[in-house]
Amino acid sequence: MLHIFRFIVPVPSPLPLQCVTQRRTINQLFAVTGSHGKTTTTGMLVHAFNAENQPCSLIGDGTGNGHPNANQFIFESCEYKRHFLAYRPDIAVITNIDYDHPDYFSDIDDVRNAFEQMASLTTKYIVACGDDPQVRLLNTNTDTLFYGFGLNNKLRASDLTVESNATFFDVFYRNTKIDRFNIPSFGKHNVLNSLATIGVALVLDRDLEIVKTQLAAFSGVKRRFTEKVATQF
């Protein structure tokens, strides 16, 4: 699928803000969605892919990049008020489904219905957390790669060990061990985020050695309540 985007780019100017537009042709559109973890997963996916054929990106922490020769666009896609139905991604990542945004969604079935609508708009592949019971209930005809810790997932992690500065885990695909990965963060949720990234890499046949190296150096994303301390006044 061909996607054409117009990016707004600030340029130096004596005026408060001057912008120029640049048309970019994007051959692959990747949407990362889910009730929780989508910002970290988007950032992780962008970081993993930046070492090879840098993509354009837009992350929910307010960061993002445009690259003149990019043919891929990775972005965080929000379910609130069904905003994510505005897109037709080639690949969608679904981290989990939970009853969030009760000001809009009536119940968990309404939330799941929104994700089913989004899944129906995904043209090539869905990479989804198979450990999440609501994700497993999705009714979709789009090819889906399930990841998680459970043995019923085609892509799974096992044998987690935690050291002072990293989490290590084995990754299996179709019951065959790929490699032992590590991330400089903690918690099973971050391992799941890593599996989502690895899953997209597998679907696209990316170099997993590069992905492994990038994941080991991922420092995280900006947080809503990050504190900054001024040392000079």
pTM comes to 0.85
Confidence of residue 27 (pLDDT cuts 50, 70, 90): confident
Bridge partner residues of 226 (DSSP):
none
pLDDT in tens, 148-164: 999 999 999 999 999 98
**Topology, domain 29-62+74-156+185-215:** UDP-N-acetylmuramoyl-L-alanine:D-glutamate ligase (3.40.1190)
pLDDT surpassing 70 at residue 97: yes
Structure tokens at 59: 């992350």
Q: Name the residue ranges covered by the structural domains of the chain.
A: 29-62+74-156+185-215
Better-predicted residue by pLDDT, 10 or 176: 176
Bridge partner residues of 207 (DSSP):
none
- Winning range, highest mean pLDDT, from 52-61, 192-201, 214-223: 192-201
Query: What pLDDT score does 21 carry?
Result: 42
> Rounded to an integer, what distance in angstroms lies between the CA atom of residue 49 and that of residue 41?
12
Confidence of residue 176 (pLDDT cuts 50, 70, 90): very high
Query: What pLDDT score does 14 carry?
Result: 43
Q: Where are the beta strands (DSSP E) in the chain?
A: 3-11, 18-26, 28-33, 56-58, 64-65, 72-76, 91-94, 125-129, 144-148, 155-162, 167-173, 176-183
